[in-house]
Structure 1
Amino acid sequence: MSDGFINGVPVDCYCTDKQGQRIEVGETICLQVDGRMFMAQCQMSLNVPMWREVSPGCFSSELKGGQSRNPAVNTLRIDTKVLPPKA
């Protein structure tokens, strides 16, 4: 049953987020429940899609404190030379 088929017929199982958007089985998102935030993965349990906490807190790529959202254009300070490992 875990392969998404029952008697050779595909089963369309997925989770939904707060906005009702479809989240595929195996995908991980940040959930906020009862004031707590955590990373949760959409999994199957007894043939029912469910959210399982996989780590406390949430990962974020949001910039804070007035940081620019534009990447740096000046790359002159980057040294692209690869050094051999030290013995």
Structure 2
Amino acid sequence: MKLILPLLLAATPALSDSTTGGKTTECYCTDRNGDRVEMGETICLQVDGKMFMAQCQMSLNNPMWRKVSDGCLSSSLNLPQPAVDAGGVDAQI
């Protein structure tokens, strides 16, 4: 059992980097604008008029986008309207 544990630990791959010829190759995805997106990040993609959430993942040693869910997450703030009567505010301050 003591012999198997070091072999299992040595067999685990690096998270998202590989080494080729002594140089580290960083793996990442790019979005529509060519901006870098790190492994595991999720963004909203629009392809052929359809919008969906996609995550940057590895497949056969290549970075790729994997669809996570239909539609995109969004948020909106319902800000209250300011009071019209500001009579309680001292203009001299």
TM-score range, shorter chain: 0.5 to 0.7
Report the Cα offset of residue 62 of structure 1. 4.1
State the partner residue of 1:28.
Answer: 42
Can you give the 5+ residue segments of structure 1 that lack an aligned partner in the other structure? 69-87
**Larger gyration radius, structure 1 or structure 2:** 2
For the residues of structure 2 that align with 1:11 and 1:41, how far apart are their CA atoms?
20
Higher relative contact order (CA 8 A, sep 6+): 1
With over 3 angstroms needed to count, the CA separation of the structure-2 counterparts of 1:2 and 1:41, relative to structure 1, is farther
Can you give the 5+ residue segments of structure 2 that lack an aligned partner in the other structure? 1-12, 80-93
Deviations 1:24-53 (A, max 9, x none): 010000000011000000000011000000
With over 3 angstroms needed to count, the CA separation of the structure-2 counterparts of 1:62 and 1:2, relative to structure 1, is farther
Q: In 2, are the aligned partners of 1:15 and 1:51 still within 8 Å (CA)?
A: yes
Q: Which of 38, 45, 48 is residue 59 of structure 2 equivalent to?
A: 45
TM-score by length of 2: 0.60
- Return structure 1 stretches of 4+ with deviation > 6 angstroms: none
State yes or no: 1:58 paired with 2:72: yes
RMSD: 2.1
